Chains A and B, each alone.
Chain A
Amino acid sequence: MKLKVGKELHEVGPHIEINRTSKVIMQDVVIAMIPALLGSIYFFGINSLILVLAAVTTCVLSEYIWQKIRKEQLTVSDWSAVVTGMLIAFNVPSTTPIWAVMIASVFAIIIVKQFYGGIGSNFANPALMGRALLLFLWPASISNYVTSYHAGTDAISSATVLGLYRTGNEITQFSKWDMFIGNIPGCLGETSALLLLIGFAYLCYRRVVNLATTGAYILTVLIMTFVFSQDGLFQGDILTNLLSGGLILGACFMMTDYASVAPRVKVTLAIIAGLVTAGIRIWGMLPEGVSYGILVANCLSGLIETIIRPHIYGVKIKKQK
């Protein structure tokens, strides 16, 4: 088969196209994360900004250098590395050392993204893989959660709300309102449900994502944690589960990642991710299971796609009439 390439392709149809590029989509995602970024600077101080900048710079540079060395088509201007960098920083607490964030960034871009073929070909979410790497190699580096500056006192070490909840503590020091606006200890981008949802609403408005995947993921986690709670069946604390961990960040910005979640079966995958996340939260060793839940779904993506066949027009239709 002889295909036209490069310039010759210019004359093939269709001759009109949607006014949207990959770059615009990535920029929209970055815009959607800005409220949460500003919130994290407000709650956790300038350290948040430094970590975000370090991660973004490392991501962009590693992609650029890799593509230069390999003499590949330069795609670094498509802003996807910026998204990955921001997500990596969003997934660690503000006390994380800069070197750890940079290592996670290099790992995410080079090994998870470029090794598998660059943008669109990564099998798992690069930012979550970066976080998983740190969690394996230097768990201490990203486990130092602090209460936010605006909790009334100076920053002091604290377990996350979810950690407290998990160990059976009564959550008294943080109100539900604090959890909603983000005035709680946690990873720097995950705490503010309010600001994340503002960003997510923007993404929905721009039709970058739709509600189905995010909704399916959140609902599955909430139903599971409500039904099989540590306090007995149907005793779970829905609001704490919803607002205190990385659930909203994961559901809005990582479950909706294009490359690692097969688009046709994304709702099914979201439910699987929800089951795994809830399973870890309820029965697992860790208090939080969002990142592993999504990574498991990423890995199952191809399999699920093979199991759930698409309906092709006119193929295998039932006998009519």
Chain B
Amino acid sequence: MKHYFHGGIHPADGTDKLLSNQKPIRIYRPKIVEISMKQSPGSVCEAIVKKGDRVSRGDLIGEPKRFGGANIHASISGMVIDVRIDSVSFSQDIEIVVIEADDKEEPEYPTGDYEERLLDLSDYSKDMIIAKMKDGGLTGLGGAGFPTYIKYETKEKISHVLINAAECEPYLTCDHMLMLEHSYAIINGVLLLVKASGAEKALICLEDNKQDAAQVMERIISDKDLPIEIKILPTRYPQGGERQLVEATLGMEVPAGQLPASIGVIINNVGTAKALADIVLGDRPLISRLVTVTGKVKDQGNYLVPIGTRYSELIGASGGFTADISRVIEGGPMTGTCLQIGGSHEELTGSISKVTSGLLVLEDEQKDETPCIRCGECERVCPAGLAPFKIDFAAIENDISLCDKLYATECISCGCCSYVCPAKRELAYRITEAKKEIFKLRWESNK
């Protein structure tokens, strides 16, 4: 039976992905990496190296301060030339470990068997795989960066593992290229995820603009009696939203305020599956990731970079900006964060983290908010079924309890409402702020 998720949009025009699509993965080796001890929202690590230490690639350099974090490893071999406090970060003190590479060229990791054929994984037990996830610092590579082992330590009975390969954000193509070039590693990784979860089946979910990738993987799993199914979904944003993917593939809704595990589903990004294969079968922790560098840069492409590669260097390697006034975005254009407006790429601060799926440069455009005309487009496209324009009014009036009554907490911050708004209102921003405020108040009242 065919299912669809509610709402959604067709952002951009589909040509955005062509900029970097089908461009083979390029390896970029920086001389210096700046590894932040905060790799994903909500998990801060403590640096266990100090200035002057020598580290090898793969060494543990950061350990989580509290539950809910993931280990951080050195992504290149060399000297730790500085451990400094990140000045631009929000409220906490976040350390940044700066490593300068040794002079000699570091060899690539050897290509393992798991990149070329399906391996016999019967020696690997659930606990072993989960332990390796933890040691290897595996987090979700899709965007939220939730430590993967926590998902698999659930007490719930898991029936399905969904592999999120929708890559519904415009412009981004790194998952697509990953599937074309590392299909065996992905399938091996998916089989490991199935073992770790005890699920009956894994569904690899792609949008129909990635038919070639689907065929490549279909060829691998055909007549092998594997617990894997390739699921092709119509292209629509935000297909790759965790809750939307469950709705679109299984026709079920994840109850509000609960994790997908509560209905027996675990969702992982396709990049996470590949990284798990690297950790378990290739014996290397999560120290690099694929990043799509695209938009208004000279040479768009998909780069394999060590975690901690500086943004400025990577944009420089792509030939720099071509826009008059450029807006640099980390992530996709819908949910990504704005790093800088105007200026040159040398002025960019910050570095690639485990969740950086793209660096996007757009031409900056001025826009002004005008009054809402109540066209109802935001309500029509909202995948959560909210009325964004009403929550927007309540948020402006600072009426938090009304925001709560209008279910602002169920917003998934996909940005569809702001995208379609003809009055150019910043709906998604204000609803997200209201949502944070509601959770803050609830947390305070529970204290």
Measured between beta carbons, the chain B residues less than 8 angstroms from A139 are none
B241 and chain A: residue at smallest CB distance: A313
Task: Tell me the smallest distance from the CB of B437 to a CB of chain A, in Å.
Answer: 4
Contact B385 A73 (CB under 8 A): no
Which residues from chain B contact A152 at a C-beta distance below 8 Å? none
Do residues A12 and B429 form an inter-chain contact, with CB atoms below 8 A?
Answer: yes
Q: At the interface, yes or no: B42 with Cβ under 8 Å from chain A?
A: no
Nearest opposing residue in chain A for B295, CB measure: A15
A17 & B418 in contact (Cβ 8 Å cutoff): yes
Interfacial residues of chain B within 419-447, with CB under 8 A of chain A in the complex: 419-424, 426, 428-430, 433-434, 437
Taking CB atoms and an 8 Å cut-off, the chain B residues in 95-150 that contact chain A are none
Interface string of A300-321 (1 = CB under 8 A from B): 0000000000111111010010
Q: Does A9 touch B at the CB level, under 8 Å?
A: yes
Decide if B255 touches A314 in the complex (CB within 8 Å): yes
Shortest CB distance A159–B (Å)? 38
Tell me if A140 is interfacial: C-beta within 8 Å of chain B: no
Residues on A with beta carbons closer than 8 Å to the beta carbon of B247? 313
Total interface residues on B, using CB and 8 Å?
64
Please report the C-alpha to C-alpha distance between residue A23 and residue B291 in the assembled complex, in whole angstroms: 38
Contact of B37 with A by CB under 8 A: no
Contact B11 A15 (CB under 8 A): no
Are A17 and B367 within 8 A (Cβ)? Answer: yes
Residues of chain A contacted by B419 (CB below 8 angstroms): 14, 16-18
CA distance A20 to B421 in the complex (A): 8
Interface flags for B312-356 (1: CB within 8 Å of A; 0: not) read 000000000000000101000111111001000000000000000
Q: Does A38 contact B (CB under 8 A)?
A: no
Of B55-63, B189-197, B272-280, B368-376, the stretch lying at the interface with chain A is B368-376
What are the interface flags for A254-298 relative to B under an 8 Å C-beta threshold, 1 for contact and 0 otherwise? 000011001110100000000000000000000000000000000
Please name all residues of chain A whose beta carbon is closer than 8 Å to the beta carbon of B430 when the two chains form the complex. 3
Which B residues touch A312, using CB under 8 A?
256, 384-386, 407, 410
In angstroms, Cα B433 to Cα A21, docked, is 25
Q: A13-B336, A16-B170 are in contact. Are A258 and B385 (CB under 8 A)?
A: no
Q: Within the assembled complex, what's the spacing in Å between the Cα atoms of A4 and B425?
A: 13
Q: When the two chains form their complex, are residues A1 and B335 in contact, meaning their CB atoms are under 8 A apart? A: no
Residues of B within 8 A of A120 (CB): 371-374, 423
Q: Which residues of A contact B33 (CB under 8 A)?
A: none
CA distance A176 to B407 in the complex (A): 52
Q: Give the distance in Å from the alpha carbon of A25 to the alpha carbon of B422 in the complex.
A: 8
Known A-B contacts: A13-B334, A313-B6. Give 7 more (CB < 8 A): A9-B369, A17-B418, A17-B419, A18-B421, A119-B373, A263-B375, A313-B247
Q: Which A positions have Cβ atoms within 8 angstroms of B?
A: 1, 3-4, 9-18, 20-22, 24-25, 73, 75, 78, 80, 118-121, 258-259, 262-264, 266, 310-315, 317, 320
Q: Which 8 A-B pairs have CB atoms at the shortest separation, nearest pair first?
A: A263-B376, A14-B415, A314-B256, A12-B429, A11-B338, A120-B373, A14-B334, A313-B384
Q: Which residues of B are in contact with A by a Cβ distance under 8 Å?
A: 6, 11-12, 170, 243, 247, 252-258, 263, 327, 329, 333-338, 341, 360, 362, 366-367, 369-377, 379-380, 383-387, 395-396, 398, 400, 407, 410, 415, 418-424, 426, 428-430, 433-434, 437
**Could you give 28 example pairs across A and B, Cβ below 8 Å?**
A1-B398, A1-B437, A3-B396, A10-B341, A10-B366, A12-B338, A12-B426, A12-B429, A13-B338, A13-B415, A14-B334, A14-B415, A14-B418, A14-B419, A15-B329, A16-B419, A21-B370, A22-B370, A22-B422, A78-B370, A119-B371, A263-B376, A264-B379, A310-B385, A312-B384, A313-B384, A315-B407, A320-B253
